[in-house]
Amino acid sequence: MIPRPPWALVLALVLALPAPARAADAVLAATLDNGLRVLLLEDHRSPIVSFQVWYRVGSRNEARGATGIAHFLEHLMFKGTPRHGPRQYARLVEQNGGQDNAFTTQDVTSYFVNVAADRLDLVLDLEADRMRNLLLDPREIDAERQVVIEERRTRTEDDPDGFLGEEVGALAFKAHPYGSPIIGWMEDLRRLTPEEIRAFYDTYYVPNNAIVVAVGDFQAPGLLEKIKRHFGTIARGADPPPVRTVEPAQNGERRVTVRKQAELPIVYVAYHVPSQRSEDAPALEVLSTILSGGRASRLYRKLVYEGQAALEAGGDYSYFSLDPNLFWFWATAMPGRDPATLEQALLAEMERLRTEPVSDEELARAKNQIEAAFVFQQDSIHRRASLLARFELIGGWALGERFVDRIRAVTAADLQRVAQTWFPDHGRNVGVLLPKP
């Protein structure tokens, strides 16, 4: 499956950080001889385990003309190996009381199973088997192609929000593959061949391009030995080709207007911003919360509650993006309201961030929102495992221990400086969706 757009998920992922109170040595980290990275964290509060395999491949790794192949392959990972036939993976997990799923983003493809601790050996066997032994039967590929095409229709072409978001993303990126939709363009989905999918699988589904993460009720040294037995015999592959594309600087406002069968107009605005490698990343995360973090946020208060210009409004920043990405915010107009007026209201909030310091109360509230949600989500072993993987992807799992401190260090002056730096008028990308008559 494809999750909601990455910008809709980042805050939830950030807030699921492993608790800073956990000692650094609580995580058992190892790299097998074949390059597989393993992160294990014991959590004995309940007799369950979240076992996850993350591959360092997403839509950013696709070539023009082959968009959507990473997500397509995610579907095919459930279509069987010589040892476990089509659809047997999910059936076996379900028969043993587990829950499994997967998702593809711009940067990664992740597979996970939450299961009773005494059934973990089954999951190890299944995941190691499909890492290199997929059947990729042409008949299964053609059948699943129709499933993916229908998913694109329902999630993008028949969904006004998804449709406009895709148009703005393609508008904002001229060179970088972030401009292609994760699910792929329809023309590519219809054309992709079994040979291309096999080549993609052989390139990226190798142990040296994967991270295994487990959190739950186990003894970490013993589980590491089991992982070595199941995965350690898989041959190391060639290192996948790096993505070297750098998006050129934007030299003027870009704009797209589309007409679509929809109930109400929608306005999207996006600016190019740096990834977590920048020292400005924590301030951008706080700005995103101030703008769109709940009913106390500026966009909700000004556009929905007070101005009654929008039915809903939101935004997000992709903190975990591997490459520089977009800072988004959007609004859906109230019936009878002009989208041009709504656009000006959105831009006025951005201008306010550039010209007026955020109040101490707003700054404290945004930080408290992030920290409070962080504390409340510590009970999820699934979230804890996911965040270990995400921080490992951007430079090392231990980076998670610094996140809250980085948020706490953000000042009002930082926010104003960052807004002035990254939200210039000539750098905005605007999308407007107008309902068809």
Tally of CB atoms within 10 A around 268: 26
Q: Which pLDDT score is estimated for 348?
A: 95
pLDDT at position 2, please? 45
Quote the DSSP letter at residue 276: T
Say if residues 28 and 221 touch (Cβ distance below 8 Å). Answer: yes
Cα 181 from Cα 171, distance rounded (Å): 12
**CA atoms of 252 and 425, how far apart (whole Å):** 8
Bridge partners of 273?
325
Q: Kindly list the catalytic residues.
A: 74
Query: How confident is the model at residue 372, as a pLDDT?
Result: 82
Q: In angstroms, rounded to a whole number, what is the distance separating the alpha carbons of residues 170 and 166? A: 6
For position 374, what pLDDT does the model report?
A: 72
Do 6-231 and 254-435 show the same overall fold?
yes
Q: What is the pLDDT of residue 375?
A: 73
Q: What is the pLDDT of residue 228?
A: 98
Buried b (16+ CB within 10 A) or exposed e, 298-313: bbbebbbeeeebbbbb
Instruction: Give the 3-state secondary structure of residue 86.
Output: coil
Residue 365's CB: how many other CB atoms inside 10 A?
18
**Angstrom distances, CA of residue 317 to CA of 290, 368, 374:** 12, 18, 17
Rounded to whole angstroms, how far apart are CA atoms 20 and 35?
28
pLDDT the model gives residue 24 = 41
Please spell the DSSP secondary structure of 346-403, one letter per residue: HHHHHHHHHHSPPPHHHHHHHHHHHHHHHHHTTT-HHHHHHHHHHHHHTT-GGGGGGH
H-run or E-run covering 280: none
Break the chain into its structural domains and give their ranges.
6-231, 254-435
Q: What does the alpha-carbon distance between residue 410 and residue 12 come to, in Å, rounded to a whole number?
A: 20
CA distance 141 to 192: 10
DSSP result, 322-350: SS-EEEEEEEEEPTT--HHHHHHHHHHHH
Domain range 6-231, CATH class: alpha beta
C-alpha span between 52 and 259 (Å, rounded): 41
Cβ atoms of 234 and 207 within 8 Å: the answer is: yes
- In contact, 353 and 287? CB cutoff 8 Å: yes
Show pLDDT as tens, one digit a residue, over the chain (437 residues). Answer: 444 343 333 333 443 344 443 434 499 999 999 999 999 999 999 999 999 999 999 999 999 999 999 999 999 999 999 999 988 999 999 999 999 999 999 999 999 999 999 999 999 999 999 999 999 999 999 999 999 999 999 999 999 999 999 999 999 999 999 999 999 999 999 999 999 999 999 999 999 999 999 999 999 999 999 999 999 999 999 999 999 999 999 999 999 999 999 999 999 999 999 999 999 999 999 999 999 998 889 999 999 999 999 999 999 999 999 999 999 999 999 999 999 999 999 999 999 999 999 999 999 999 999 888 777 767 799 999 998 999 999 999 999 889 899 999 999 999 999 999 999 999 999 999 999 87
Q: What is the pLDDT of residues 216-252, one digit of tens each?
A: 999 999 999 999 999 999 999 999 999 999 999 999 9
CATH number, domain 254-435, options 3.40.50.150, 3.40.50.970, 3.30.1360.20, 3.30.830.10: 3.30.830.10
For 332, the token pair is 């859906």
435 is written with which tokens? Answer: 């309902």
Q: How far apart are CA 344 and CA 347, in angstroms?
A: 5
> What token pair was written down for 321?
């993006």
Q: Beta strands 37-42 and 325-333: pairing type?
A: unpaired
What pLDDT, on a 0 to 100 scale, did the predictor assign at position 373? 75
Q: What is the DSSP letter of 248?
A: P
**Strand 254-260 versus strand 428-435 pairing type:** parallel
Work out whether strand 99-104 and strand 27-31 pair parallel, antiparallel, or are unpaired: unpaired
Is residue 174 a contact partner of residue 256, using CB atoms and an 8 Å limit?
A: no
Among the listed residues 35, 85, 49, the one whose alpha carbon sits nearest the alpha carbon of residue 205: 35
